[in-house]
Structure 1
Amino acid sequence: MLFHEKQTIIENCLFGVDINSNSVKICRLRLWIELLKNAYYKNTTELETLPNIDINIKCGNSLISRFTIDADLKQALKKSKWTIDSYRIAVDTYRNAESKEQKKEMERLIADIKSDFRSEISMNDPKVKKLRKLSGDLFRLTNQGQLFEMSKKEKADWDAKVKELTEETKKLETEIEEIKANKIYENAFEWRFEFPEVLNDDGDFIGYDVLIGNPPYVGITEINQQYKIYYETAFKTAKGRFDLYSLFIERAMQIKRPSGVFTYIIPGKFLNNKQFVTARKIVCENHGVTVVKIDDKVFEDAQVDSVIVENYPDKKAKYKAFKITAEELHKLSEVELSKITSDEELIFRLEMSAANEDLISKIKKDTVRVIDIGEVKDGIIAGRIKDLLFINKKLDKDCHKLYFGKQITRFHLANTEVWVNYKPKEMMAEEMKRIGNTGPGLRMRDVAIFEREKIIYRKVGKELIATLASKGVFYEQTIHSCHITDKRIKIKFVLGLFNSTLFKFYYRKTNSQGGDIFPQVRISSVENLPIKLADTKTQEKIETLVDQILTKKAQDHSADTTDLENKIDALVYKLYDLTEEEIKTVEKNIN
């Protein structure tokens, strides 16, 4: 019967963990309702009993564990009266308990089994082993008999050794006690032995066949400092300005079988953001990868583009990209995974084809990257003191007009009515008063990046939209800037390239947006743009055209400069040695 088929699947195949107890209750209820749909009467009055499937859906912090996945359980099994099989039987008996008394009895038994495992694994912890050895050494040293009285030197050496061992022992004891008492372990989830279904008879962790999840999207400024320190020691992906969902990806790779499949729905910025390089590398290791871009908004309360990222075992690893538009799935690309992994940043690009790849290679030929000739910098982030930092009038000499991304159009910067109260020390002091247990979100930036000529461009967008900014232009985080440090390169020449049709094509084809709701131009993407070291004459031709456009836009921001921009495009195509056919490919792909 369908009831028993569903029961078998739910009891033996579905397992879940969530830190939110209400989410856990809802999930359990949904599974019971699913069974109830097909429940039946065993006789005229007796309905088929629903199993206790709550043991399959547990509450806990998936990222916090006292014990590693490879912690030795064999020693615990040797010393314990329990076996993995008896653990499985206890769990199965709990699910199908015939009375409340039997259910409670199984709860106690399961708790005893897990308590035994915890105690025995703890005894094999490297810190505990080292403490036992040090304690033994100290005991022997201080309790051994002496046939002859020690000389002054021997006594001094003995005292020094006793002091050293005593200090090491006390230090280790303190560390172990701190771990035991640490509040972050209160809700720890022990993947190592919580589900006996993924352990073999020797207690080895086998892992899960399929992992499906929608991990939390929590930026580093929202993470409690104590947890942040733990994550940075426990996860390779917890580096720099990490987000919790990258840690969940790493955890998924740890707990799935080598032959298993992983599928998460996560923000689109994962595809190309520099801070997720390690996580993308982990996803690619010994696997094929599939990415699905979702054009429509998925979550009402989250202003992010969403993508589905999946990996699966594959000897001939492929990278596949799709998009979902109006509930229809469209294939975008399929290439060898090596096309992705050969790039040091492992960008998960969406649109890849042999023709475009050849053209991209040609554009990159004999160029330098922006990062080789300049600096790309982020803008001011207000943190928790926006009310003090961003103001509507000038108070003193430390106040400067503050510009936002919405004020930038190609070759033009509109006026702003906002001022920044640029007092870094004073503002940081105010930020620290408001942060609570998380780290400061305020980023004032070095004043030097504002007090220089630079190209500024919108952070939010599918392509570069840039203009020139003079010295003294301050900007917040919806703008990034590019300052040219190489004296051979004229800044207006680079601005012409940034706003050209060729760079629009190159940017779109080498960067994955992951959606259209909140696309962002990443700093690393701009740093890697290919700049031709053009001769002075060519640079001056483009510089002259850029000057003409800037002048027209300054007089009237809506002025039509199409002819001038087309002339820049022609010079850029020539500079990068594109053929007529290649120019048609570029213009076809951006229209």
Structure 2
Amino acid sequence: MSDFTDFLIERGLISNLMKRYKINVKDNEVNDFILKMVENLSEIDSIERYHREQGNDQSFDLDTVAKWYEEIVPHTQRKTIGEFFTPIQIVDYILKSIGYTDKHDIENKKLIDLSCGSGSFLIRAVNILLKKLIKQIKSKENSEITPKQAEEIITKIKDNINGIDINPIACILCQVNLYFTLFGLFKIIVEDNKDYHIAEFSVINKDSLQYKFTIKYDYVVGNPPYLFIRAIPQEYRKLIEKLPLETNKGQYDYYQLFIEIGINILGEGGTLGYIIPDSLLVLSNRKIIRKYIYHSTRIKEICYLGLGFKDPVVSNVILVLQRESQERERLNNKILIKQALKNDQLEYYLKQYNIGKWDYKFLINLTQRDIIIFEQLKSGFPKLIDLMNDSPFKILISRGVELGKNGEIIYCEVCNKNLPLPKGNLVCYKCGSSLNSNSIDKIIVDSIPKELENVYVPFVYSLNRYVIRKYKYIKLGVEGINYKSHDVYKNKIVIRQLSQENMICAAYDESAFTSQSIYNLKIIQSNVLEFNHYYLLGLLNSQLLSYYLIKSFSSYKTLFPRILIEKLWSLPVKIPESKEEKRLANKIIDLVKKISISCIKDNNLYIRLQNSLDSLIFDLYNISEDQRLHISNFIKLGKKSN
């Protein structure tokens, strides 16, 4: 048995694995791939032996093996199941964060990866446990490992290191990688006992969501699949929603189900470490899993990574949780918040009970000063949604015409109606029939065609803060297009979903229609004269409310989130009540009218007026001088990075 290849062939391990995972042994493509990987592993073995002979400490290049897997399994297939390679430094960081190190008592602790892939987490965990066990033996006997001791180590690893993956090829690769990692021990055993039976490790080819777990684990680790509900096949979605889970409701993502299952299979005090999208932190659709985490674990750490992988355009966080049944322990827990993997990066602690006060949003971007400002705004002022539900006021928020701002439509001959032009394939979203590209038309134009003045009306094509930058015209009365009630567009504030210089972008408009990417906010009824559109426009375009929106809904730092209706609902709105407050409100109204004119003509004047406006709004909301400076500096920092 000269090398790793001979070891696998002589022992029939590859054919055994293919039988175990029900891979057709006649599948030439799979066979070729497995053999290629074995050859590459053998090359690594030769290189490692050379370096060891030269006195160099060279370890198994796990990243190289993972990249081979990525090369052979197409990107589209991996993306379909939400599977992505985990960089080794992240694997190491997670294992250290959950306490799986050779300095801890891990000899009899069970670890599992619910989406193990080719084995990134398992191989590193095996190396850690191996180091721990060998160190124990040598400290007692000060001698080389005996065949019996090698067998005991292998058995210990089989009993305690576990993996599951839905992809049988990944399971085979994981097994081969584990064989390679422990090749030195197998050589010691087989040289003494050629009849030694080499069994497979605990790597199960099952769907983790449907698997029936019978034991509890001390550690759950991994990089669970990222797959939004729309990307999950309809039949499988039905199956998922029948599972006895709490978080498989609404607009869920695949990874949140893995979080719930991971927590469920932990024993009391057990620890979970995942790398997941940062959509977990504040996205309204993820509230259900945040609430579940809050009520069942101590959140030990949230480490913000940003764009963690080369393939997906996904911003990531590392999440470390500890199973905890005692409410007092959970509420008193302090969460470690970190910006990056390095120890010298900014870190601080956040009390877990705050999350309950923040409607279960993981606002890891809040400093202690932010928390004080937030509590002041939340306790002292009604939300916009409160005013919408309050009888003295009647306020409406609505999107515009359900159509892109370019106005492209297409006619469906089956439905006998027009519909907005689909972004992807030309398929009718109502009846599913194919659409003819010759039936594409455009109902938003630069100028009104002759003799059609009664058919077209003004349309907000683009806007800046306080001013409509460009109007076009939209054709009315097209069958199949959802225009909304014409009353929606009369005397309203228009709000862009995207920010302008990292601030809310809103303007006043009297009657123009808008697209679905613009919100129309209108005060239909108010029992306070000063609470009108110009006053509310001033609040919306203030530093204070932009700061509040960013801090409430952005995952981290100063990035402005896309505005959704529920985010507007949450804004704290000051109703002027006292004589002094109404005096300030009238000054705000006058300034907004002046700014709406000056922002077109004189930028310096616009800046001065906006500063005056912000100062008045800070006064209305009782924001102290040091708080004002903090908010202004935050907004300025956002403008620079925008």
Q: TM-score, normalised by structure 2?
A: 0.57
Paired position in structure 2 for 1:451: 489
Give secondary structure in 1 for the equivalent of 2:227: coil
Instruction: Tell me the CA shift for residue 565 of structure 1.
Output: 0.8
- SS of the aligned residue for 1:349 comes to coil
Residue of structure 2 equivalent to 1:214? 223
Alignment of 1:245-260 (within 5 A): 245-260=255-270
2:568 is matched with: 526
Match of 2:514 in 1: 474
Residues 157-556 of structure 1 mapped to structure 2, 5 A cutoff: 190-192=211-213, 205-234=214-243, 235-313=245-323, 316-317=329-330, 318-325=333-340, 327-328=342-343, 330-343=345-358, 345-373=359-387, 374-376=395-397, 380=402, 385-386=422-423, 394=444, 409-415=464-470, 425=480, 446=484, 451-452=489-490, 453-459=492-498, 464-468=503-507, 470=509, 471-477=511-517, 480=519, 482-487=521-526, 488=528, 489-514=531-556, 519-534=561-576, 535-554=581-600
Q: For the structure 1 residues 483 and 237, does the alpha-carbon distance in structure 2 shift closer, same or farther, using more than 3 Å as the test?
A: farther
Q: Does the C-alpha gap of structure 1 residues 522 and 502 become closer, same or farther in structure 2, counting only changes over 3 Å? A: same
Partner in structure 1 of residue 40 of structure 2 = none
Distance 1:21 1:533, change over 3 A: same
In the alignment, is the contact (CA less than 8 A) between 1:496 and 1:543 conserved in 2? yes
Show the 5 A alignment for 1:73-222: 190-192=211-213, 205-222=214-231
What amino acid is aligned across from residue 373 of structure 2 in structure 1? L
**In 1, Cα distance between equivalents of 2:485 and 2:255:** 33
Which of 28, 50, 53 matches 2:200? 53
8 Å contact kept, 2:460–2:468 = no
Q: Which residue of 2 aligns with 1:103?
A: none
Change (3 A) 1:468 1:410: closer
- State the distance in 2 between where 1:51 and 1:418 align: 75
Distance 2:199 2:478 in 1: 60
Count the aligned residue pairs. Answer: 430
Residue matched to 1:568: 613
Q: Which amino acid aligns with 1:451?
A: Y
Q: Which amino acid aligns with 2:204?
A: K
Amino acid at match of 1:573: F
Q: Which residue of 1 aligns with 2:448?
A: none
Paired residue for 1:431?
A: none
- Residue pair 2:463, 2:507 contacting (<8 A) in 1 also: no
Deviation at residue 311 of structure 1 after TM alignment: 1.4
1:582 paired with 2:627, answer yes
Give the corresponding residue for 1:62. Answer: 208
Root mean square deviation of aligned Cα: 4.1
Instruction: State the shift of 1:211 in Å.
Output: 1.5
Unmatched tracts of structure 2, length 5 or more: 1-129, 135-149, 388-394, 405-419, 429-439, 446-451, 638-642
Tell me if structure 2 keeps the 8 A contact 1:321–1:334. yes
Residues 266 and 308, structure 1, Cα contact 8 Å, conserved in 2? yes
CA–CA separation in structure 2 for the residues paired with 1:62 and 1:562? 57
Distance in 2, Cα, partners of 1:468 & 1:445? 21
Report the alpha carbon displacement of residue 28 of structure 1 after superposing the two structures with TM.
2.9
Instruction: For 1:553 and 1:29, locate their aligned partners in 2 and report how far apart those are by CA, in whole Å.
Output: 66
SS at the partner of 1:386?
Answer: coil
Question: In structure 1, how many angstroms separate the alpha carbons of the residues matched to 2:533 and 2:294?
Answer: 38
Greater relative CO, 1 or 2 (CA 8 Å, sep 6+): 1
Q: Distance in 2 between matches of 1:369 and 1:378?
A: 20
Distance of aligned partners of 1:524 and 1:408 in 2 relative to their CA distance in 1, 3 Å threshold: same
CA shift, 1:497, in A, is 1.8
Q: Extract unaligned runs of 5+ from structure 1.
A: 66-189, 193-204, 427-443
Give the aligned partner of residue 25 of structure 1.
Answer: 172
2 CA distance for matches of 1:256 and 1:421? 59
Q: Displacement of 1:393 after TM fit?
A: 6.2
